Amino acid sequence: MLTFTATMPNAMRVEFGSLPTVEQWRVRLASLPTEVQADATYRVSFRIRADRPREVIFTVREAQKPWTNLGLYGQIPVTEQWQSVTREFTAKADASNALFSFDLGGSDVPIEIADVSFAPHASTPPADARAK
């Protein structure tokens, strides 16, 4: 079950109830599809915590078969304390249907995710700007 609270408008809580423990990719929380361009730099960031320690996978991939990874894959331990996560990556390919997603299966421990962002990132100024 996915819930939102008035006390943290940019946060969501995922509770699994009687869901059997399944492979991590079988329970996925994903963004709407967005376009990415090959060789462009992107940044994802979010805050995360869980009721008890557990693992979470996050990735940017195509939203259709063959679900090609577009340059970001991470697996992190999540604890009861809020932690901030920021990753930059360079897209491996053009995609009109990229998803930033969390794979949440493999555990029935509830999790909270807040302040999720997936956006282009200019990591290096253009050459003409560096010359000045």
Residue 54: beta bridge partners? Answer: 78
CA distance 93 to 112: 31
Q: Are 62 and 70 in contact (CB under 8 A)?
A: yes
Q: What is the pLDDT of residue 79?
A: 97
Residue 73: beta bridge partners? Answer: 59
Q: What is the pLDDT of residue 131?
A: 46
Would you give per-residue pLDDT tens digits along the chain (132 residues)?
666 676 777 887 888 776 666 667 777 788 889 999 999 999 999 999 999 999 999 999 999 888 899 999 999 999 999 999 999 999 999 999 999 999 988 888 999 999 999 999 875 545 444 344
Q: What is the pLDDT of residue 18?
A: 66
Q: What is the pLDDT of residue 118?
A: 93
Q: What is the pLDDT of residue 106?
A: 84
Q: How many helices (H) and strands (E) does the chain have?
A: 1, 10
Q: Where are the domains of the chain?
A: 2-123
pTM of the model: 0.82
Q: What is the pLDDT of residue 21?
A: 63
> What backbone phi and psi angles, to 5 degrees, belong to 40?
-85, 150
Topology of domain 2-123, CATH:
Jelly Rolls (2.60.120)
